[in-house]
Structure 1
């Protein structure tokens, strides 16, 4: 899933507007009406066929708004070319998808995560991880060739949502003297994390922040994996990826 096209599942939400809202006085009446309904108008652009258009966010979804030639009516939808291509995708990617991806990437970087792999890795992938999640463990195992080769660093954003021991185990990993070593021992099943009976205030705040971010991104399952493609667009994969998807997420082995 990427922020530009969103063919399925939910997109990460913007905690703040992507840009300063366009002044209502500068908008056609039909676009103002959409703005009043909660559509965030990001920027104008010229669509194929010479139509005036606006890049916008409807909820968590980038959309294009096309104006009729008389400027009195607005149409939300997809303009398709002769070969079925989305004619406004480049503009939505540039005006909405890339800024939203960059903004969300900063929010992910500011979360409480545990590094898995070299800090010098060329590729960084974030993943919401619950210590009791078997599919998180599967992804951890499947990613070993990329991690061990130094090509990828996974950043595990720890959450405790799957069971009564999940918060205590996640807190134990975040609070460990060496969180990376503790996570490796836990996921490799060499030494599973023991749930803390009392979660320290700092770890509790970290877990709450991570859970809030996960909710704001409308992610309902772990692992929830996030990565940037070569164009700077953010993609989200929920659940343990199939083998064919691993190379897209983690890059060439």
Structure 2
């Protein structure tokens, strides 16, 4: 299905979604897309005689619109007079929101590196490789909020960037003070980072293996991945280094 791969990016963060195809017979155009790999999650109201379907493909929420004759389907955005995609809210409620809440819960249960005041009001989860330069930049961007006690970063440490990453990630998690070890590693990154002390690596290796399983379950393959809650308490995800204009949305007002 090359045209579907063109329409949607194979991005991550999906959870188990129940297809309505099991509960009811789908119209032929919708069933055609279901046969090609889309999960049809539910229906939602749509204007102009259309019927909206919320679907998911490789972690991407997709809006489908069945025409009134029941013989054609439109895939993509449908805008109102204000330029807003009418499917934005239904797709979040039916597809994106449950998937991102699932990811948040996965990370809540993981063994994480606590970076910042444990009582800080704002929690941010981030997947971090010790040799990912953008992970380092994200940690440095967060420093004013961490220092002010406003933010706690919870790092899910992984080792995927370089050959030495798994051992260094394990050494960080196996050290007596993982947060200090991470900061020391970042400060020494121009000299190759911290030494992967074998006794620390042995302690940390089970944590890193478990974190890699979480990455696979969430269909993630790069770092950083940042999860935070917005002003509506909705889980949002940013893949890659956030832009400076996003910092206040992630971290809160500047201290």
Tell me the TM-score range normalised by the shorter chain.
0.7 to 0.9
Structure possessing the higher relative contact order (Cα contacts under 8 Å, 6 or more residues apart): 1
Q: State how 1:32-47 maps to structure 2 within 5 Å.
A: 32-47=31-46
Unaligned runs of 5+ in 2: 1-6
List aligned pairs for 1:104-253, cutoff 5 A: 104-189=103-188, 193-197=194-198, 199-200=201-202, 203-215=204-216, 217=218, 219-231=220-232, 232-239=234-241, 241-253=242-254
- Counterpart of 1:16 in structure 2 is 16
Deviation at 1:156, TM superposition (A): 1.0
Instruction: Work out the number of aligned pairs and report it.
Output: 243
TM-score norm. by structure 1 comes to 0.82
| TM-score, with length taken from structure 2 | 0.82
2:73 maps to 74
Distance across 2 between alignment mates of 1:159 and 1:65: 36
Is contact 1:160-1:167 (8 Å) kept?
yes
Q: Is the 8 A contact 1:67 1:74 kept in 2?
A: yes
The structure in which a higher percent of residues are helix is: 2
In structure 2, C-alpha distance between the alignment counterparts of 1:50 and 1:121, rounded to whole Å? 49
| Distance across 2 between alignment mates of 1:68 and 1:243 | 42
CA apart distance, 1:39? 0.6
Aligned residue number for residue 3 of structure 2:
none
Per-residue deviation, residues 32-80 of structure 1 (Å, max 9, x unmatched)? 2221211111111111234222111122211111111122332222112
Instruction: Return the alpha-carbon distance in structure 1 between the equivalents of residues 129 and 153 of structure 2.
Output: 14
CA apart distance, 1:153: 0.9
Q: What is the CA–CA distance in structure 2 between the aligned matches of 1:53 and 1:242, rounded to whole Å?
A: 33
**Which residue in the other structure is 2:99 paired with?**
100
